[in-house]
Amino acid sequence: MTFIEYKSLTPAQRVTYKVKEFFSLLPGRCKGFFSAIGKFFVNLFKSFGAGLKGYGARFGAGDMSTKLSYLIMGFGNFTRGQVGKGLAFLAAEVLYILYMANFGLVYLDKFDTLGLVAKREIILPNGRKSVEFVDNSMLILLYGTMSILLTIVFIAVYVANTKAAYEAEQTQKAGKKNLTLKQELADFLDGKYHITLLATPVILISVFTILPLVFMIMIAFTNYDQNHVPPGNLFTWVGLQTFRDVFKVSEGASKGYTFIQLTKWTIVWAIFATFSNYILGMVLALMINKKSIKFKALWRTLFVITIAVPQFVSLLLMQQILQDDGVMNVILGYLGIAPISFFNSTALVARVTVIVVNMWVGVPYTILQTSGILMNIPEDLYESARIDGATPVVQFFQITLPYMLFVTTPYLIQTFVGNINNFNVIYLLTAGGPKKDLSLYQAGQTDLLVTWLFNLTMNSNDYNTAAAVGILVFIVCATLSLITFNLSKSSRNEEEFS
């Protein structure tokens, strides 16, 4: 369809066209997304293969001391005047071997079964019987994962060691002098500065984010639920059974039914929470920034002050205000309206309440973040619209909204994903309630998938289901982000907004 044809459509037809276009492009984008993931792994293996190839080639080409550093790390550097570097490699090797011998191997050994003997009876020195816990599946899994990750790191260091030895040999053969430790350290402040800067954050993230994450992903493939809590009980690998349970609908309070219900509500919530904040925030920002309006700072402060108050305070406060005997119902009483039970009557009332309260929390953020962009909309667009006799409402829908959508798509997606994971609002306001639908498993009618995940871990110890739900939420969020990320990237190439 050409631009002229598009312009000659009625607004309704334009919307259908846009929607159609979006969905017809969707498969392509999804394909692009998955092929990108595929490419990522292919590249990973390719670089892995290349590393391995270089590893073999260097062994063939190197001299005796280079060959020896394949066994004793750092040997090649050591004999060629790089004592400090050689010692560092050697220390890495010794530490790794010590770790594996004393600690890692014990757990790696049981990693395939996650332990066979949960507990056994022992007789204490005083003659009494007691129970001793033997294998703790959870610790085996945790430390096993840790050992595997450490081994991967060690292999990387090991390959780097062979490379360093070979390079040192080549430099020496070429008649040049190898860098001293001091020179090499100095390079870490310039040429290799990225390593210096990234080292600490990467280590911290690996230990406290990646390791726990890998551990939890593995949990999703075990039967670590309330019947298999160590110590005292063992859990083991069950493959995809957990995922099957999450999708299976059965009689009574089943996980499958709960998952479907909560997914529906999570999507509805995310859509309403995102767009209600976005539109209202933008309208308010426009009003505040209108040229003829005075006291701009005052208006802005009035709204922005709610951001400044810590969110848990404002949410707990709202929760108290909206109690059955709270001040909101007192005010309603003055107005002659019967008191409303905001959180405990029906699902609908509670859901509307959380969406409205979320507006109170979220609109100020939109005001703050869109004010700057609104100022940048070319003024002549409005001028020509005014000359054509467009009313402010028409101007909003024809100029402001399209422009803002165009510029802030990444922000909007971020908010949408943020709302799917919006734990605080639900947890502090309703804690999931009302809990009248008894066929929901460990959840209430305003629970989102994330708060369900939280309940599953904290209240019912269904760690495997929680992990599986977490993975599913991740897949949804990641797909959404990446698809729209591509979308905004392609739209970024369009130089102008028309």
Partner 1 sequence: MIKSYKLQRTIADVVIYVILAVLGIIWVSPLVWLFLHSFRAEGGVTVPYVFPKQFTLENYSKLFTDTDVFDYPRWFLNTFVVAVFSCIISTLSVLMVSYTFSRLRFKSRKMFINIGMILGMFPGFMTMIALYYLLKAMNLTQTLPALVICYSAGSGLGFAISKGFFDTIPRALDEAATIDGATRNQIFWKIILPISKPILVYTVLTAFIGPWCDFILVRIIMGDKRENYTVAMGLQKMVDREYKQNYFKQFLSGSVVVAIPITILFLKMQNYYVEGVTAGGVKG
Tell me which residues in 360-389 interact with partner 1 (CB under 8 A).
360, 363-364, 368-369, 371-373
Smallest gap from Cβ 120 to partner 1, in A, equals 23
Kindly list the distances between the CA atom of residue 228 and the CA atoms of 51, 113, 231, 279, 464, in Å, as whole numbers in the listed order.
42, 14, 9, 48, 10
Smallest gap from Cβ 413 to partner 1, in A, equals 11
Establish if 174 lies at the interface with partner 1 (CB under 8 A).
no
Establish if 105 lies at the interface with partner 1 (CB under 8 A).
no
Structure token digits, residue 187:
């390079």
- Calpha distance 464→420 (Å, rounded): 21
Is 352:295 a contact under the CB 8 Å cutoff?
Answer: no
Establish if 150 lies at the interface with partner 1 (CB under 8 A).
no
Q: Which is nearer to partner 1, 90 or 417 (CB)?
A: 417
Residue owning tokens 């550097």: 77
- Calpha distance 392→398 (Å, rounded): 10
Query: Which of 221, 303, 343, 441 is in the footprint of partner 1 by CB under 8 A?
Result: 303
Residues in contact with 276: Cβ distance below 8 Å, sequence separation at least 6, in sequence order: 355, 358, 359
- Calpha distance 17→446 (Å, rounded): 34
Smallest gap from Cβ 18 to partner 1, in A, equals 19
Q: Which alpha helices (H) appear in 188-254, and where do they start and end?
A: 193-205, 211-219, 241-247
Q: Of the listed pieces 89-97, 161-169, 184-192, 239-247, which binds partner 1 according to CB under 8 A? A: 184-192
Query: Which of 259, 453, 465, 484 is in the footprint of partner 1 by CB under 8 A?
Result: 453
Q: Of the listed pieces 117-125, 161-169, 263-271, 459-467, which binds partner 1 according to CB under 8 A? A: 459-467
Closest listed residue to residue 152, CA positions, set 108, 193, 113:
108
Query: Which of 260, 321, 377, 487 is in the footprint of partner 1 by CB under 8 A?
Result: 321
Footprint on residues 431-450 left by partner 1 (CB under 8 A): 450
Q: How many residues bind partner 1 (CB under 8 A)?
A: 92
- Calpha distance 256→443 (Å, rounded): 12
Establish if 336 lies at the interface with partner 1 (CB under 8 A).
no
Q: Of the listed pieces 93-101, 261-269, 304-312, 430-438, which binds partner 1 according to CB under 8 A? A: 304-312
Q: Which is nearer to partner 1, 16 or 383 (CB)?
A: 383
Smallest gap from Cβ 474 to partner 1, in A, equals 5
Question: How would you classify residue 354: left for phi > 0, otherwise alpha for psi between -120 and 50, otherwise beta?
Answer: alpha
Is 277:460 a contact under the CB 8 Å cutoff?
Answer: no
Helix/strand/coil (H/E/C) assignment for every residue in 115-179: CCCCEEEEECCCCCEEEEECCCHHHHHHHHHHHHHHHHHHHHHHHHHHHHHHHHHHHHHCCCCCC
Q: Of the listed pieces 8-16, 112-120, 193-201, 270-278, which binds partner 1 according to CB under 8 A? A: 193-201
Establish if 392 lies at the interface with partner 1 (CB under 8 A).
yes
Query: Which of 152, 156, 293, 332 is in the footprint of partner 1 by CB under 8 A?
Result: 293
Establish if 459 lies at the interface with partner 1 (CB under 8 A).
no
Smallest gap from Cβ 127 to partner 1, in A, equals 33
Query: Which of 406, 436, 439, 490 is in the footprint of partner 1 by CB under 8 A?
Result: 406
Closest listed residue to residue 323, CA positions, set 349, 337, 309, 344:
344
- Calpha distance 67→166 (Å, rounded): 9
Q: Which is nearer to partner 1, 247 or 497 (CB)?
A: 497
Query: Which of 9, 57, 95, 330 is in the footprint of partner 1 by CB under 8 A?
Result: 330
Establish if 454 lies at the interface with partner 1 (CB under 8 A).
yes
Q: Which is nearer to partner 1, 261 or 371 (CB)?
A: 371
SS3 52: helix
Give φ, ψ of 116 to 5 degrees: -115, -35
Establish if 194 lies at the interface with partner 1 (CB under 8 A).
yes
The angle subtended at Cα 324 by Cα 266 and Cα 342, nearest 5°, is 25
Give φ, ψ of 330 to 5 degrees: -65, -45
Closest listed residue to residue 90, CA positions, set 103, 100, 75:
75
Q: Of the listed pieces 87-95, 254-262, 345-353, 469-477, which binds partner 1 according to CB under 8 A? A: 469-477
Establish if 339 lies at the interface with partner 1 (CB under 8 A).
no
Establish if 171 lies at the interface with partner 1 (CB under 8 A).
no
Query: Which of 32, 256, 410, 433 is in the footprint of partner 1 by CB under 8 A?
Result: 410
Smallest gap from Cβ 438 to partner 1, in A, equals 22
Establish if 131 lies at the interface with partner 1 (CB under 8 A).
no
Establish if 49 lies at the interface with partner 1 (CB under 8 A).
no
Q: Which is nearer to partner 1, 66 or 464 (CB)?
A: 464
Q: What is the DSSP string of 274-333?
A: HHHHHHHHHHHHHHHH-TT---HHHHHHHHHHHHHS-HHHHHHHHHHHTSTTSHHHHHHH
- Calpha distance 337→342 (Å, rounded): 14
Is 86:75 a contact under the CB 8 Å cutoff?
Answer: yes
Smallest gap from Cβ 382 to partner 1, in A, equals 14
Establish if 30 lies at the interface with partner 1 (CB under 8 A).
no
Q: Of the listed pieces 8-16, 259-267, 327-335, 394-402, which binds partner 1 according to CB under 8 A? A: 327-335
